[in-house]
Amino acid sequence: MIEVEELIKLDKEIYDRAKKSIMVIKQCQQCGWCCNNKRILVTIPEMNRILKHIGKHFFKLFRMENNRLSVSIKTKKINGKHYCTFYDNGKCLIHHIKPFQCFTYPVIFHPIVFRINPPFCIENRVYVFKCQSPNESKAISSIYVNDFKEITSMRLDFLVKNYEIKRKLIVKKKLRKVVKEMISNERA
């Protein structure tokens, strides 16, 4: 499916752009705070990467959201709290292929979250984001304002395209099939 292939290409472009632009000031301590999340939405390329890496059945890792138009990573309860299914004793089992929202944290490329939890700004040139964990040692990252704006715009355009394609596939009950075919084609 050409639309999906273009989506995967765009996803890689945004990942690469973010990787080059985000400057880590203080490393993540892998405390699991950001993994304590009941809803980690995933895009089609992210589902593809995760399924290819883990090799499990779609519904063992993901769940259809109540609106039936979105997909999220399943969670598990630890001490009464919901954690990402890939969280294991302070570590992410898919750290090197984790979803964009996890990969870029504490930088959050979303306008609404940006307004709720704005970063510290240095001379209108650099945003500094700090992990919201209650722990003493917090991850800190920075990014140039112009890079942040560009990546946010790219990411939002990508998410709209992803949503449109995913919605069509879910309505036609073909999402699992398309993701499975993508993985089979890549292995061949």
Identity of residue 165: I
pLDDT of 141 reads: 95
C-alpha 132 chain-centroid distance: 17
Interior/surface letters 27-41, b for 16+ CB within 10 angstroms, e for the rest: ebeebbbbbbbeebe
CA-based Rg of the chain, rounded to a whole angstrom?
17
Residue 151 structure tokens: 């990546």
Q: What is the pTM of this model?
A: 0.85
Cis peptide bond prior to 134, omega within 30° of 0: no
pLDDT of 132 reads: 86
Question: Domain boundaries in the chain?
Answer: 10-183
Which residues are CB-neighbours of 56 under 8 A, at least 6 positions away? Answer: none
Task: Give me the average pLDDT of each 10-residue run along the chain (188 residues).
Answer: 86 96 91 85 92 86 79 92 90 90 89 83 91 86 95 94 86 78 63
Give phi and psi for 144, each to the nearest 5: -65, 140
pLDDT of 187 reads: 56
Pairwise CA distance, residues 153 & 96, whole Å? 24
Residue with tokens 């990573």, as numbered in its chain: 73
